[in-house]
Amino acid sequence: MRILRSGVGQPWLCEAATRRMRLPAGHPEGYLEAMANLYGDFASAIRNQVEGHDAPGVPGIDVGLRGMAFIEAAIANHRGDAKWTALVCHP
C-alpha cells in the first residue's frame, strides 16, 4: 500500500495542484484557501482579458447559465411525474 499526502512540496503533484497548495502536508485545505484560489484565478482572468489573452480554467457566463438550467430542471423533475425533464437554456 502507498500513502500519498497533499501539501506543499509533494513531488508527485502536478503544477496546477502545487500552485493551489498553501499549507504543508497534514494540514487540511479549507475555506480560506478556496477563497484565495478563487480570487487569484479571478485576478488572472482580468489580467489576461486586459492583455488580450484567453483565461484558461475560468468558466464563463454560459457555464453558469447551463448550471442554473440544470438546477431548474432537477427541481421541475422532482415536483413532477416525468421520468425525464429537458434542459432549457435561456439566452
Please name which of 29, 58, 26, 63 lies closest in space to residue 45, comparing C-alpha atoms: 58
pLDDT in tens, 39-88: 888 898 889 889 998 877 777 788 888 999 999 888 888 888 777 877 87
* DSSP letter string, the chain: ------STT-TTS-HHHHHH--S-TTS---HHHHHHHHHHHHHHHHHHHHTT---TT---HHHHHHHHHHHHHHHHHHHS--S--------
pLDDT in tens, 7-48: 777 888 888 887 777 777 776 667 677 888 888 888 988 898
- Quick count: other Cβ atoms within 10 Å of Cβ 43? 10
d(CA 58, CA 22): 20
* Model confidence, pTM: 0.45
